[in-house]
Structure 1
Amino acid sequence: MKIYDFALDAKAVGDAGEFEGYASTFGNVDQGGDVVEPGAFIEGIVKAKKDGRTIPMLWQHDQREPIGVWVDMAEDTKGLYVKGNLLIDADPLAKRAHGLLKAKALGGMSIGYRIPAGGAEPDEKRRGVTRLKTIDLREISLVTMPMNIEARVTGVKSTVEAGKLPTLAEFEDLLRDAGGFSRSQAKAIAAHGLKRLIDQRDAGSEADARSAFLAALLR
């Protein structure tokens, strides 16, 4: 899953936990060189509603920490506008997030997503920029310091694109911060996945190992 962060633009934060704002805006190039195109969310939103599926509201991209519900989301000319309710009467963490939101102490909203086949293409006019045309939205989080997570993802992507593989520790950090995995889960995933690629690299097949890792990272 990939992460895309945005400075918080939350409006109308109510005493009962309701708030609204932009979870994503169009036209901004992130540190990884990705830019969301208008229309990117429409297909996924329609499909989720048709399937009766809701997009999770998470705290810091942690799958174990749902803090509320998104009651509405739609694209407008600026981006993906969302309305949500923090479950402040049922969850102490949601109540804390509500207080931080009202005090403007949260850094942003951040989306977790995947790109389906054919959903992205290089920008012909801007070198190194990828246009995201279709996004499979998996979750939207409230985050305190969004750039930390984005920098972690970008750092690993940059390492691979520079012709190297990340260390096990770097990859474990990425899994915990951006993927929401526990320390033990991150160690297990890294040991059974990345370690094999590192062993392959050490055996003299670094190009193949690098390609396999990058393909998995961007899937």
Structure 2
Amino acid sequence: MDRVFLETKIMATDDGAISGIAWKFGAPDRIGDWIEPGAFKGAKLPIPMLFGHDMNDPIGTWDGADEKSDGLHLFGKLLVDDLQRAREVRALVKSGAVRGISVGFITKKASARTGGGRTIKSLELLEASLVTVPMHPGARVTSAKSAIDALRIAEAINRASVALRKGA
């Protein structure tokens, strides 16, 4: 799954309503990937709202998407009435400590770009996460993608190690 990090203005209200730009058109990310307008068409909503791409940390849903000339705008709701974690994340968003959105997707149609990267013409949007360390205002893919995967692998190894020690 690809992930793109974006620094944006996120608005969160007391009732948990939240919105932001999930991808800005017109600029490649750090590895040269460029998502074309229209690539997000057909996004099947709602999609999960996660914190930091952690599949075990859902905090709400993105219920609306609007592809405008400047990019993909998402609208959703933090589940503040039902989840303590969502209330915590809302407080982080309101304080400015969390101000990025990162989309997780599967590339469906892409072509290589001169100089590196891809032009992505079609994708399947799987989730969009609120993230603590936004990268570039143009939704830049970073090595954080690899870092997140590495952290998950390390957690799995630690859990397996503990289980093996208990069994020995």
Q: TM-score, normalised by structure 2?
A: 0.81
Structure 1 residues not aligned, in runs of 5+: 157-172, 189-219
**What is the deviation of 1:27?**
1.8
Aligned equivalent of 2:164: none
Which structure has the greater CA radius of gyration?
1
1:130 pairs with 94, 102, 118, which one?
118
Answer yes or no: is the 8 Å Cα contact 1:8–1:106 preserved in 2.
no
SS at match of 1:115: strand
* Structure with more relative contact order (C-alpha pairs < 8 Å, separation 6 or more): 2
- Alpha-carbon deviations, 1:100-129, whole Å to 9, x = none? 11112214100011112xx11123xx4213
In the other structure, the counterpart of 1:24 is: 23
**Ranges in structure 2 where 5+ consecutive residues have no aligned partner:** 136-140, 161-168
Instruction: Specify which structure has the higher proportion of strand.
Output: 2
After superposition, residues 19-168 of structure 1 pair within 5 angstroms as 19-43=18-42, 45=43, 48=44, 54-116=46-108, 119-123=109-113, 126-147=114-135, 150-153=142-145
Q: 1:186 to 1:145 in 2, by over 3 A?
A: farther
Residue of structure 2 equivalent to 1:10: 10
8 Å contact 1:62–1:181 — kept in the other structure?
no
Structure 2 residue aligned with 1:184, among 148, 156, 164? 156
Rounded to whole Å, the distance in 1 between the matches of 2:34 and 2:16 is: 31
Percentage of matched positions with identical amino acids:
33
8 A contact 2:10–2:99 mirrored in 1: no
- Report the AA paired with residue 151 of structure 1: S
The total of aligned residue pairs comes to: 155
Partners of 2:149 and 2:86 in 1: how far apart? 23
Deviation at 1:32, TM superposition (A): 1.9
